[in-house]
Structure 1
Amino acid sequence: MVEGILSKAFWVVCATVFAAATVVYGQQVPCYFIFGDSTFDSGNNNNLQSKAKVNYSPYGIDFPGGPTGRFTNGRTIADVIGELSGFEDFIPPLAGASPKQAHTGINYASGGGGLHKETSEHLGGRINLRKQIQNHKKAIKKAKVPAQRLEQCLYTINIGSNDYINNYFMSETYSTSSLFNPNQYAYFLNRLYRTHLKRLHRLGARKVALFSISQIGCTPKMIVSHGGGQGCAKDVNAAVAIFNKNLKDLVNDFNKKVKGAKFTYVDIFSGGDPLAFGRLGFKVAYKGCCTISPGEELCVPNKPVCANRSEYLFWDDIHSSEATNKMAAKGSFDGPLGSPYSIAQLVKQ
């Protein structure tokens, strides 16, 4: 994911939870539907005319299927959540999924995807959240998935990072930063999110986990482009913090007003000292593991990567390593990241 740097106390708790054994007694929900951007994408961009695709080596170097289109070296957060929920197989991307797959789950996430329709236009093909939900509607209708079944499924959404990285903070390409101040832009995105969430609810979603945007100002890419190469880009993180507060308020509002459904906010932002990661086995916080060309963010095809990948927070200059993803997934599933519910509690509702 576009991973942030989290506080020592926060991550120590996550690490403790991760070290503990999680016993999963079979598949806990009948189906799992995944929405979002490159943090969750498992191959939906592979056949698009897009700069936002990674179906090449060294991506997937630690994944059983090799370079599938996942923006990391191994599993994504969504992959690990699926495992923790008892699914024996990874939830497949919509691209190439059979119609019957809608009965057990589909991954609709797309690298470059956002809330604002213009987000990531410069990258070419990508699927925004509105279109992802439209794709979901078509898939469940074609497969004739019963409404009662859909209400028992798990839904996770991780969206919004690109609306900042590939829109608001690209003033040379997009005009949003001249049209909106950070508060106004966060409000604008929140209104879009609210509309999309209502649509998903009408399609049967009753157990929904919404992930915050992480501290994208602390990614290697943003440190160079907006932090002067000297540390996290504070203005970027401050803008994202407004989005996250509004998202948490949105979750609380839906829980009060939408009967028969449960929503939870997953906090992968909470800030702190990156040096704290040293105590968790991470030794490199500001540099990607793979070979990256100057000014770029994705790995150069078929070039060397670090040998000690579990010690790196980041896989490339924007996306987190599998080691980071595993910890974040565990913290969201039965750790301290979810509010008012962990995902484990959500699936039992």
Structure 2
Amino acid sequence: MSTTNHPTHTATAAAAAPGTRSTAISATGLRKSYGDKVVLDGIDLRIPEGTIFALLGPNGAGKTTTVEILSTLITADGGEARIAGHDVKSDAGSVRTLIGVTGQFAAVDGLLTAEENLLLMADLYHLSRSEGRRRTAELLERFDLTEAARKNVATFSGGMRRKLDLAMTLVGRPRIIFLDEPTTGLDPRSRRDMWELIRDLVTEQGVTIFLTTQYLEEADHLADRIAVLDHGKLVAEGTAEELKRLIPGGHVRVRFADETHLATAAAVFGIATRDDEALALQIPSDGSVTNLRAILDALDGTGVQAESLTVHTPDLDDVFLTLTGRQNAPTVPAPSTATTTQKESTR
């Protein structure tokens, strides 16, 4: 949930007109230092409304600082940031009416029931008694907390507390939500439940999500675009598939029925690694449709029939470890056309 010094779980903002997708969050040259320590070193962001954006980075990379600046909790030392067109510094009041913030740890009152926590948030937003109760009942049902509504939150599991925390963020119907490592400490099932709730906010209500996480599977599963932050700089940004193609090691593995077919194909692909025991070739590939088509065309030209073909691409773990392990990492160029690849698909 948001901090308690002011309500960043916020009021409703008008959605953009149908058919348009304006910028929900933008930043240019954002900088922040604490003494001699540079936390953010001139980052640029542009996040369209109705999308999920994930910010990855090791501990101390500046993820939480970015969220704190964009949500008006702290001010930047330089640069500019806007939320739905409102400057976060000069128009912080307007920004707070548009956003909700869920921090790394569930900020719920364990001495109150789930229902009482939600009603408290409704009071902070000056909802009428009837509207507050209606909104509370609606959120309890949506987050599958109705049966536990009148139980003290201190008795809740970690997953239930995180669900309640997110529900409290939604009391004021925010259009932009900052989720700072929202599934930290949750078991795999609870984490996937949270993923479903987060995705539904976007697909059903058009909410924009700014997500920070250290769970790479989480970013891969949820995010429309991902940025990697390291030592205060954005070292890469793109879709999950674009980021994966930055890292060497992708290949296509083709298996054949016998040694004759294997040998014929190996003569065509001179750079392929041959596995005689498995009757397979491992052919370097970037995983793109164009590259895969070229491989298939080459095989068709030999008249060799492949038994199976599997595409392997690096995963986000590989991306994360590679990009945050060096200073001069590449950035992803804006693609001229969308290319869809699969981490592992079999023909």
Higher helix share: 1
Point out which structure has higher relative CO (alpha carbons under 8 A, 6+ apart): 1
TM-score, length-normalised on structure 2?
Answer: 0.28
Larger Rg: 2
